[in-house]
Structure 1
Amino acid sequence: MSYTYPDHIKKRLRRIEGQARGVLRLMEEEKSCKDVVSQLSAIRSAADKAIAQIVAENLQQCILEEQEAGRDSSKMVQEAIELLVKSR
């Protein structure tokens, strides 16, 4: 099964990309460690949210497809949980 990534998730990742460029700029300007780490922490948080959103939306789509086909979706739920745990 394939998953079409919605524009709002791509937009979120472009924002993360901009944040990463900002961190590089902070480093090039020799800003404080505190500023750099703070921005890296924000990037990590944004990436975690993007991962959770992708998994949740994909899982929802997969569960609906499984139910329409009359199959059990519990295995997919377990796989999604494992994927989230592994991403941390």
Structure 2
Amino acid sequence: MEYTDQMKNRVKRVEGQVKAIVRMMEEGKDCRDLVIQMSAARNALDRTIGVVVSTNLEQCVRAQIEKGEDTDAFIQEAVNLLVKSR
């Protein structure tokens, strides 16, 4: 699978959020503010997982259809990945 610049940028944004969280901890910021930032980073990563899995699923399903093969296994695997990520 080819990972797009959009996907990479999403991960880089999460990386920035995590670095900011560490900085907040080092500065002794309020727990509530820290948890809000941690939740935002987790949500951003969850959305990125969705983009990566859905893009991969689309590519795999298209390839299977072109080959005339069954797509059920790919779809089930994608669903399992999403469930496991939660």
TM class, shorter-length: over 0.9
Structure 1 partner of 2:65: 67
Q: 2:7 aligns with which of 9, 15, 20?
A: 9
Q: 1:48 aligns with which of 40, 46, 56?
A: 46
3-state DSSP class of the match of 2:42?
Answer: helix
In the superposition, the TM-score normalised over structure 1's length comes to: 0.96
3-state DSSP class of the match of 1:39?
Answer: helix
The alignment yields a C-alpha RMSD, in angstroms, of 0.5
In the superposition, the TM-score normalised over structure 2's length comes to: 0.98
Deviation for aligned residue 1:75:
1.1
Percentage of pairs with the same residue: 47
Aligned residue pairs total 86
List gaps (5 residues or longer) in structure 1. none
Structure 1 runs (4+) deviating above 2 angstroms are none
